[in-house]
Chains A and B, each alone.
Chain A
Amino acid sequence: MGESLSFVQHFEIWLRAYLILSLFSFLYRDNVFYKLSEHIFAGLSAGYYVGLIWQTVIIQQLVNPMVDNGHWWLVFPGILGVLMFTRLIPKWSWVSRVSLAFVIGNTAGIYIISSLHGLIFPQVASTILSLDTGNGFAGTLLALLVVVGVISTLIYFYFSKEHTGLLGATARVGIWFIMIAFGAHFGYTVMGRISLLIGRAEFLYYEWGGSLSQIF
């Protein structure tokens, strides 16, 4: 950090460092610094999201299309949104269930199609492999591994019969596949988290340290 920092820049760096360190202090125990940072964080995010939703949903997706493009039919989802405010009036709060029912019902319906289309079918297509791959024993073994892994995992999630006998043995193979996959995910995610930690440590060392060296 070669160039001289202004007062505002110093203040901002110190504020960020304070918030980082006070959040890290939770590793020791709950304390007043953590509580203060927690409430600032929660309060600011609540306020930020009001602004965000107002701008990106109410203005950009409701008001602008209705006013600028004449999409008058958007008044119906608008009404569903307004109905949610009936929760503030105990006598009429049941009306908000209309909006809730609409969203929950739609979600379930859309999810079925998107799951079939986006998850299940691609998985099935990727699992239908030839065991005669032309790549020798290793190729056949790899294809077999994929097929056995998918089938045994599917059987683990079969709830209509007790997992005993052949079904139980296959389900146990499935749980092995699942656990190996989780192990890989675990390692992958931990590496990601460590890089986040390194990012914060770098900030404290370079930026906060730079500010410290300029001040003192």
Chain B
Amino acid sequence: MTDPLFYVFYSVTHYSLNSSGKTFLLALGFCLYFSFFSFAQSPDSLNQHPPILTLIGDDTLDIDEGDTLIIAVSSIDLDGTIPLLTAENLMDSAAFIDSLNGQGCLVFAPGFEQEGNYEILLIASDGVTADSVTVAITVNDITVFRTSRIAVLVFMLIFSGAVLLYTNWAKKGKTLFVRRIPGIDAVEEAVGRATEMGKPVLFIPGISDIDDIETIAGLAILGRVARITAQYDTPLYVPVRYPMILAAGQEVVEQAYLEVGRHDAYDKDTVRYVAGEQFAFTATVNGMMMRDKPAANIYMGAFFAESLLLAETGNAAGSIQIAGTARPEQLPFFIAACDYTLMGEELYAASSYLSHEPLLLGGLKGQDFVKVILVAVIILGVILMSFDIGGWFKHLFVVP
């Protein structure tokens, strides 16, 4: 099955699952147009120019064993087709990824027995003609233990030790103090308001996949929110962008309903897949906000350019809004458009604050311990540098 057929199938399926309006046929027409257009652009009818492949960066590169090298390439075809990108002479630990939009990247992570010189041929083809570039990579031999990164190891051991120690204390019943964070208290207030108004709560766990730590923090907070909505019998909507988040979100929400003894009230469609593309997701969620008018919108996770679009629409819909993200470039928008905002690490602190679970509290306290050490290190370093004897000390933190 070729890609255009996938698009038709999933476009129509998605539409038919999400709408039952008269515009179904129109949507089908548009989908068929796109698919037909993809097929119609056959190489024979349109191909007049060869594609042009451009390497972003140098074509001669050095890398140490154990490091990761990422080389980006970009291609265009003046005939309007999207060139297919491939790589030849790929060595072990190397992969080439064609993003199918004219862009691609070579990822090479040489192991500790891959010292040597390599040449990789990157090709852009439109099916008839092709362009290529050669990348020369030298892999330098290094020892397995990197003494230049010893400071990372030391800090890692300090952090791990602190987390284990605090977790152990919490398990033994010792009270671990965590200061009040205003935005977190507002979560329960917002769900209470939704219950009183008989309207749903909208929770968005960011738009990153599950390999983003902010998403994991967002899912932890989702668990707490779902417990409250389960207790109050308040509808909860959780639109997601990735299938893995769909699975993880469903697990988290179901577990929350189980814990409060309301498994019968759990609806699998509480967490629903919306769209894979960033702004398609945003457009759909904006539509949900204006149609369902949720009483509370909670944004917890990694957000990007869609942050203000979501928050402004929620504001226009009259919802109480609570946001939390660690993206400094998006926080200003949330601060401007939301009632409460968890900034940066407050997002991570929120999950442990809400749950009071020993493991999460131990992590939070361990981080605080490391922060104290970092402040001390900076003050000591500045004093040493000011007396012109701190070069060696600063060098400890310069990681190659």
Instruction: State the A residues within 8 Å of B (CB).
Output: 8, 12, 15, 23, 26, 29-30, 32, 34-52, 54-56, 60-61, 65, 69, 71, 84, 87, 96-97, 100, 103-104, 106-108, 111-113, 116-117, 120-122, 124-125, 127-132, 147, 150-151, 154-155, 157-163, 178, 181-183, 185-186, 188-189, 193
Contact = CB atoms under 8 A, between A and B. Distances in A.
B398 A125 contact: yes
Contacts of A178: 343
A155 B211 CA distance: 28
B335 A182 contact: yes
B378 A39 contact: no
Given A51-B6, A87-B247, A104-B210, A160 B98 contact: no
A159 B364 contact: yes
Nearest to B2: A51
B121 interface: no
Nearest to A151: B375
Nearest to A42: B275
A108 B27 contact: no
Interface residues of B, number: 103
Contacts of B374: 120, 124, 154
B247 A100 contact: yes
A43 B213 contact: no
B92 interface: yes
A51 B368 contact: no
B19 A35 contact: yes
Contact of B284 (A42, A60, A181, A186): A42
B61 interface: no
Contacts of B399: 117, 121-122
Closest 5 CB pairs of A and B: A49-B276, A45-B277, A47-B10, A128-B381, A43-B11
Contacts of A154: 371, 374-375
Given A39-B27, A189-B333, 19 more contacts: A39-B15, A41-B280, A42-B280, A44-B280, A45-B281, A46-B275, A49-B277, A51-B100, A56-B98, A60-B95, A100-B244, A112-B156, A117-B152, A124-B381, A124-B397, A127-B378, A147-B378, A158-B371, A185-B328
A67 to B, nearest CB: 13
Contacts of A155: 371, 375
Interface stretch (B131-139, B224-232, B384-392): B384-392
Report whether over half of chain A's contact residues are helix, strand or loop; otherwise say mixed: helix
B99 A56 contact: yes
Contacts of A23: 283
Interface in B4-22: 6-15, 18-19, 21
Interface string B90-108: 1010011111100000000
B311 to A, nearest CB: 13
Given A124-B397, A154-B375, A186-B332, A43 B27 contact: yes
Interface stretch (B109-117, B174-182, B187-195, B256-264): B174-182
A183 B12 CA distance: 43
Interface of B: 3, 6-15, 18-19, 21, 23, 26-27, 30-31, 33-34, 37, 90, 92, 95-100, 149, 151-152, 155-156, 159, 176-179, 181, 210-213, 216, 243-244, 247-248, 250-251, 273-277, 279-281, 283-284, 286-287, 290-291, 305, 308, 328-333, 335-336, 343-346, 349, 353, 364-365, 368, 371-372, 374-375, 377-379, 381-382, 385-386, 388, 390, 393-394, 397-399
Nearest to A178: B343
A30 B26 contact: no
Contacts of A116: 152, 155-156, 159
A23 B331 CA distance: 25
A96 B254 CA distance: 14
A160 B353 CA distance: 11
Given A51-B6, A124-B374, A157-B371, A130 B344 contact: no
Contacts of B394: 125, 128
